[in-house]
Structure 1
Amino acid sequence: MMTKAFWGLLKISPLVMAATFVAANSALAAEVNEPVNGVAQLSQDSMGQVTSVSQFSDVQPTDWAFQALQSLVERYGCIAGYPNGTYRGNRALTRYEFAAGLNACLDRVNELIATATADLVNKQDLATLQRLQEEFSAELATLRGRVDSLEARTAELEANQFSTTTKLVGEAIFSVSQPFGDTRVGGANLNSNTAFSDRVRLNLYSSFTGKDQLQIRLQGRNTVSNQTVTGTNMTRLGYDGNENNSVAIDKINYAFNLTDAVRLKVDASGGELNENVNNFNPDFASSGKGALSRYGRFSPIYRQAGDGAGITVNVNPKGPLTLSAAYFAQGTNASNPADGSGLFNGSNTFFGQIAFKPSKALNIGFSYARTYQSAPNLFQATGSAFANNPFAGARTEANHYGIQATFQPSPKLALSGWGGYTTADAVTGANRSADIWYWAAALGVRDFGAKGNVLGVIFGQPPKVTGGNNIASESGTSYHLEGLYKLNVSDNIQVTPGLLVIFNPENNDNNNTIYVGTLRTTFSF
């Protein structure tokens, strides 16, 4: 039913209503589709004024609305066409285009009224309006109902939204895991029980400009490290850690754009290089939905931030190159930097990376990190204990070199790999140095069995001391073999069974093989 306001408008200017209905005829007759980006669409399809209906290449005299369109174009001059000379009468109309067309006709009506030089209303206009009104009465009623429904839903969302600037994103992991084998590192029997554990994270993502992001993460977990059972960090899971499910803020950072090509991220706590730069292992990098093991997630060079505080800059100009640089420090909250802590007087890391992507299929990265550690843990408990602390607690400086690559020959197949070399020097005590090597390769078969599922295999050698000055190399070589299958039960639930096998744990051929069977279920919300 038409309102009094509608009829008032009709009495004042049938031309306005004719322009509105003729311009909107295709949108009323078709499914109502809200544009995703109306502004961009208008910018790309800018329209120009026409003076004759014959200028439209896709409008024929046999078209049902030809006369109405001809009248509006030639009598009133308020209909525009597209740059290619078309009118596109059958396409859906955006709200932006409707507003632009209506405004043009209103301006023309006001001009004609002011000059009083034209016959504004005639019987032909009224007949056209009546025919359009009768033909589209059902569509108008449907459209009015949909608009009312959208307004009601929008009002409900606004009334119940968490925040106008903040999104809450959560992840919960339920894990069942058990290490097994003949003996643990050192020769004692490997006695373990099946353990059930969890990890819950709540992320608050806030944006104040639309291009920035403030992240505050709360975490609680009770996943005990397998090192306590097997005697080696090589059996650790990628999501372990135990605070007896006490919830605390473990990560705070803020990222924003300096320019369109330069993005800056400041980590106040919980900084991780693997989250700030490309780590070249897209299928297995996530702790909740990636590899089950700690080493299988990505190259150890990305652990050099040490969950500290720092700043990361990514420069991504148009082209195949991306440049990254970062500085991180541990112990930044200490009250006295002279104690060997603080932002510039304690353990720290300088990091740089060049990523080269010549095609969509290939991506290669070259990384370097310079670290100083007052309490050495060179690879953040990844690899053998000797590789992490080769100088028995002496303060250590190290240069880390890494090369990483991802090759995706098809959307369903991804090959990733990394290799790294570290030279470490003791800063205190005797003059000692160590050479340390590591490498790994990962295969991900996507949509295996069903869409969204991934079958994965990871094989490599964790960090190992191979030589140096005044230091003994490790006699054996450990190998890391991991098989897993990521099964997507739904968009929010993923189940991942897998088996981790460590050959010659702690780079010692005398140690028996250790296995870790795991079933991880990840809920995302």
Structure 2
Amino acid sequence: MVQKTFIDLTRVGSIVFGATLTLVSSSFAAEVAPPQLNPNEPEAIVENSTDALETVSQYSEGMTSNSLSQVTSVSQLSDVRPTDWAFQALQSLVERYGCIAGYPDRTYRGNRALTRYEFAAGLNACLDRVNELIAAATADLVKKEDLATLQKLQEEFSAELATLRGRVDALEARTTTLEKQQFSTTTKLAGEAIFALADAFGDRAANGTDLNANTVLANRVRLSLNTSFNGRDLLFTRLNAGNIPNLAGVTGTNMTRLSYESGVNNQLGIDKLYYRFPVNEKLTAYVGTTGLESAVDLIFPLNRAFESTGTGAISRFGRFNPIYRQAVGAGAGLTYNFSNSASLSLAYLASDATASDPSVGRGVFSGPYGAIAQLTLRPTQALGINLLYINSYNRLNVGVGSTFANSPFGSGIAASANSFGAEVSFRLSPRFILGGEVGWVLANAESSSALVARGSDATIFNWAATLSLPDLGKKGNLAGLVIGQQPKVIRSDIAAREDADTSLHLEAFYRLALTDKISVTPGVIVITNPEHNSSNDTIYVGTIRTTFRF
């Protein structure tokens, strides 16, 4: 890129072009026609101040893979051979004047093309070096014929040199301004705002009352602080405010919940805080005090396009396998990458409501918790498989599915569970991805009541199939389809709390990317036999979600 090379040559004071530089030590240099710069090429000048600041910072800290390093002998350049036609010229420039630099991998890349501006920048570096030699009273090292050639080249490229100096001055001024005005040297601020239009339709709610829902226009705003102390770690802090309602209040069932609801009455608060850092090249650790989601922050599902509440699926059920929600809150986790095709993740998360409470039966280890393990396999680039296990206590209320599935033994009855899940994703092409998931929960009553004996069992099952069509119609767009069964009690020792029928979840949405920062997503959700009860009428949910990211 011209932009990067320009910064290399002017800020580092080194030459990064190839054999054309033999002009510096050749008497016929001024007769060679230099290449022309395309004025329509966007890389010809750094236009974006933020990008310029980041690039300058990278070079000044030596963090880029293209950073140059001074060499003292041409033999240090692994791709330069004594048989190369420009070997002697390079040897002279390296060992006599010291104005040649190589890449960190000790290559020179001499066959790379260059522009007049690059040549002028390199010439300027050699002029500076010659001036240093003269000022140091080592003028005897500078040959008369070389000085004559440099003078001719300086005259030939005087316009380019002047332009480069002007651009450097302007870039440095803009960089200084940005450094003074930037939010933080370690923290980046990211934001998301959602405007949502939503309504629910149907004859009756799942509780048997008339479904009298009105159209709502609501919002959710999130501000995220991404802080890194060494470039590899992340301290994530998220502020959240919103008033998007839980539609279960009017539909009588959690099956109609939207993915991006935020019923906090627009009160701003921290809803997520965690720290992620690498232990070594293969192991990454996580620790958080609130809002950690195993399926988003620690142990990732395969269908990443659907998981985002701002740009993914429109329903809570459609984001990912519901059993992931048995492990949310405060805790810690580890991910170990065996290779690019296999990884193992482990996490322990306690409930947000009790993790910070020292009372009896609460806290991190005595209250509700979820311990989760996931093995991710990628046999090929197109195929991905997740195998999931969760051991949990009092975490069966995952916010989707039937009332019985969220509380299989009744209100107030403590329960433990061993849950198993599997997920598969197959990419037929970059724009056609099929996915599927299942969840199997074996629940056990840990307390008793007049109707429930301690030790009673229940089995809860869910499944879904997904289709995602990325970049449909335009880059950044996404069409998504979900068909599945939300959590259902398929067997129970308590016959009265076993779901008799089967409800289907049908969802379709289309995210239209107006720009890379603004998207509009219309979508519809259809719930047949709500609460897995064929006596209930079908419920429809329609929504238009507009997302702004900044």
TM-score norm. by structure 1 comes to 0.84
In 1, Cα distance between the equivalents of 2:179 and 2:210?
Answer: 60
Aligned-residue RMSD, C-alpha: 3.7
The residue aligned with 1:447 is 471
In 1, Cα distance between the equivalents of 2:267 and 2:100?
Answer: 66
The residue aligned with 1:437 is 461
1:419 to 415, 438, 441: 438
Task: Give CA-to-partner distance per residue, 1:105-132, whole Å, 9 cap, x none.
Answer: 789969x978xxx953443123112111
Task: Give CA-to-partner distance per residue, 1:455-512, whole Å, 9 cap, x none.
Answer: 1111000011111334453110010000111001111111000110000000001111
SS in 2 for 1:327: strand
Letter in 2 for 1:508: N
Q: CA deviation at 1:87?
A: 3.8
The residue aligned with 1:171 is 192
Q: CA deviation at 1:19?
A: 9.9
Task: Give CA-to-partner distance per residue, 1:372-427, whole Å, 9 cap, x none.
Answer: 11xxx514211001011010131000011000111112111111221010000001
- Change in 2 beyond 3 A, CA 1:132/1:389: same
Letter in 2 for 1:489: L
SS in 1 for 2:404: helix
Task: Give CA-to-partner distance per residue, 1:237-283, whole Å, 9 cap, x none.
Answer: 01113121111111111111111111111110111111122111122
- Change in 2 beyond 3 A, CA 1:70/1:369: closer
The residue aligned with 1:4 is none
The residue aligned with 1:477 is 502
Structure 1 residue 240 corresponds to structure 2 residue 261: yes
SS in 1 for 2:178: helix
What number of residue pairs does the alignment pair up? 490
- Change in 2 beyond 3 A, CA 1:441/1:505: same
Contact kept? 1:56, 1:86, Cα under 8 Å: no
Task: Give CA-to-partner distance per residue, 1:305-326, whole Å, 9 cap, x none.
Answer: 23x2100111113331111000
1:192 to 206, 213, 220: 213
Letter in 2 for 1:386: F
SS in 1 for 2:84: coil
| Worse overlay, 72-81 or 399-408 | 72-81
- Change in 2 beyond 3 A, CA 1:59/1:498: same
Contact kept? 2:478, 2:512, Cα under 8 Å: yes
- Change in 2 beyond 3 A, CA 1:154/1:311: same
Structure 1 residue 291 corresponds to structure 2 residue 313: yes
- Change in 2 beyond 3 A, CA 1:170/1:76: closer
Letter in 2 for 1:297: R
In 2, Cα distance between the equivalents of 1:192 and 1:54?
Answer: 79
Letter in 2 for 1:350: A
Q: CA deviation at 1:169?
A: 0.7
Letter in 2 for 1:398: A
The residue aligned with 1:380 is 398
The residue aligned with 1:63 is none
- Change in 2 beyond 3 A, CA 1:107/1:418: farther
2:409 to 391, 395, 414: 391
2:512 to 484, 487, 499: 487
Task: Give CA-to-partner distance per residue, 1:335-376, whole Å, 9 cap, x none.
Answer: 4331x1101111111100000011211110000000011xxx
SS in 2 for 1:185: coil
In 1, Cα distance between the equivalents of 2:160 and 2:293?
Answer: 55
The residue aligned with 2:279 is 258
For residues 66-145 of structure 1, the aligned pairs below 5 Å read 72=93, 87-88=110-111, 90-91=113-114, 119-145=140-166
Letter in 2 for 1:195: V
The residue aligned with 1:519 is 544
In 1, Cα distance between the equivalents of 2:480 and 2:356?
Answer: 42
Q: CA deviation at 1:90?
A: 4.2
Structure 1 residue 508 corresponds to structure 2 residue 505: no
In 1, Cα distance between the equivalents of 2:199 and 2:335?
Answer: 40
Q: CA deviation at 1:58?
A: 5.2
The residue aligned with 1:279 is 301
1:360 to 375, 381, 388: 381
Letter in 2 for 1:282: R
SS in 2 for 1:316: strand
In 2, Cα distance between the equivalents of 1:424 and 1:407?
Answer: 31
Letter in 1 for 2:470: R
2:428 to 385, 396, 409: 409
1:336 to 353, 358, 363: 358
Task: Give CA-to-partner distance per residue, 1:46-100, whole Å, 9 cap, x none.
Answer: 895169x99363549xxxxx9x7686479779768897897447447999x979x
Letter in 1 for 2:522: P
- Change in 2 beyond 3 A, CA 1:256/1:495: same
In 2, Cα distance between the equivalents of 1:399 and 1:285?
Answer: 24
Letter in 2 for 1:55: P
Contact kept? 1:49, 1:78, Cα under 8 Å: no
Contact kept? 1:367, 1:402, Cα under 8 Å: yes
Contact kept? 1:424, 1:435, Cα under 8 Å: yes
- Change in 2 beyond 3 A, CA 1:301/1:28: farther
The residue aligned with 2:84 is 57
- Change in 2 beyond 3 A, CA 1:334/1:213: closer
Contact kept? 1:454, 1:486, Cα under 8 Å: yes
Q: Identity across aligned pairs (percent)?
A: 44
- Change in 2 beyond 3 A, CA 1:254/1:104: same
TM-score norm. by structure 2 comes to 0.80
SS in 2 for 1:386: helix
Letter in 2 for 1:516: V
Contact kept? 1:404, 1:417, Cα under 8 Å: yes
Contact kept? 2:73, 2:95, Cα under 8 Å: no
The residue aligned with 1:3 is none
In 2, Cα distance between the equivalents of 1:147 and 1:390?
Answer: 69
The residue aligned with 1:215 is 236
Letter in 2 for 1:353: Q
Contact kept? 1:486, 1:496, Cα under 8 Å: yes
In 2, Cα distance between the equivalents of 1:437 and 1:45?
Answer: 64
Letter in 2 for 1:410: S
Letter in 2 for 1:414: I
Structure 1 residue 498 corresponds to structure 2 residue 523: yes
- Change in 2 beyond 3 A, CA 1:132/1:253: same
Q: CA deviation at 1:29?
A: 7.2
- Change in 2 beyond 3 A, CA 1:45/1:433: farther
Letter in 2 for 1:304: Q
Letter in 1 for 2:305: D
Q: CA deviation at 1:438?
A: 0.5
1:347 to 368, 372, 377: 368
Consecutive unaligned residues of structure 1, counting only runs of 5 or more, are 1-17, 61-65
The residue aligned with 1:304 is 326
The residue aligned with 1:226 is 247
- Change in 2 beyond 3 A, CA 1:414/1:47: farther
Contact kept? 2:414, 2:445, Cα under 8 Å: yes
Letter in 1 for 2:320: F
- Change in 2 beyond 3 A, CA 1:144/1:217: same
The residue aligned with 1:155 is 176
